Amino acid sequence: MQVKLHGDERIDQLYSKGIQIIQSKEVFSFSLDAVLLADFVQTTGHKTKQVVDMCAGNGAVGLFLSEKTAAHITMIEIQPRLADMAQRSIELNGLGSQIDVVNDDLKNASKYVKKDSVDIVACNPPYFVNYETSEKNPNKYLAIARHEIMTNLDEIVNSAAGLLKMNAKLFMVYRPDRLTDLFVALRTHRLEPKRLKFVRPRLGENANMVLVEAIKDGKPNGLKAERDIITYDGNEYTDEVKKMLYGTDK
């Protein structure tokens, strides 16, 4: 299907998924964290019926998940330009019957998705606290995507918890230096962390991302720290990451 592109936009493809996605270096392009998050999400066949992609950006995570589940996917994105990019990517891939886009603040999520009805929430949120002294990207789209300008961690976790059924799951990608903040927010809102996976650029280097799965009203403790993901072997992607990106480790 053909869709209209703005002058700064291009169409990229995630070859492992056969998904095409509208990108823009001026507005927003998905990065490896979206691919890692979509890979980390675990679905349960026909039991997974409702999925929400929060802080959806240009829709990368929700689009990638569409090949993993037949569930209905709702993307929530506050920035109109990014929500529009996501909508056109949905049309580009012929996924209009499976995926909806909501252009609103995620605090209003329950206006569009019934509370206690969702099986999976996936979220690639802004990572950085919005301190007055924070150095932000002069590009407003990128600044909002990276800093807690329009939302914050507590609001995100609270909104996710409100949508999720009992024993349903939240999957997030985050920064290791804010992992304590994340765990505090999760427990505050009845979400118990159960799986943890660090992502390191190279073997022996400190982690620069962390993937977390939490269960609503799950029993306390029982957190499993799984094997790390290593992004690069020298200057090339590792076989594991190549498989996520290209569908092959070659």
Helix (H, G, I), strand (E, B) or coil at 221: coil
The one-digit pLDDT tens for each residue of the chain (250 residues) are: 678 898 889 999 887 888 999 999 888 788 899 999 999 999 998 999 999 999 999 999 999 999 999 999 999 999 899 999 999 999 999 999 999 999 999 999 999 999 999 999 999 987 655 555 556 556 555 555 565 556 688 999 999 999 999 999 999 999 999 899 999 999 999 999 999 999 999 999 999 999 999 999 999 999 999 999 999 999 999 999 999 999 876 6
Residue from 141, 137, 67 nearest 99 by CA? 67
Which domains are delineated in the chain?
9-166+178-190 (3.40.50.150)
| Residues of the chain by 3-state class (helix, strand, coil), percent to 5 | 30, 30, 40
**Residues 6 or more apart from 28 whose CB is under 8 A from it?**
57, 58, 82, 85, 141, 142, 145
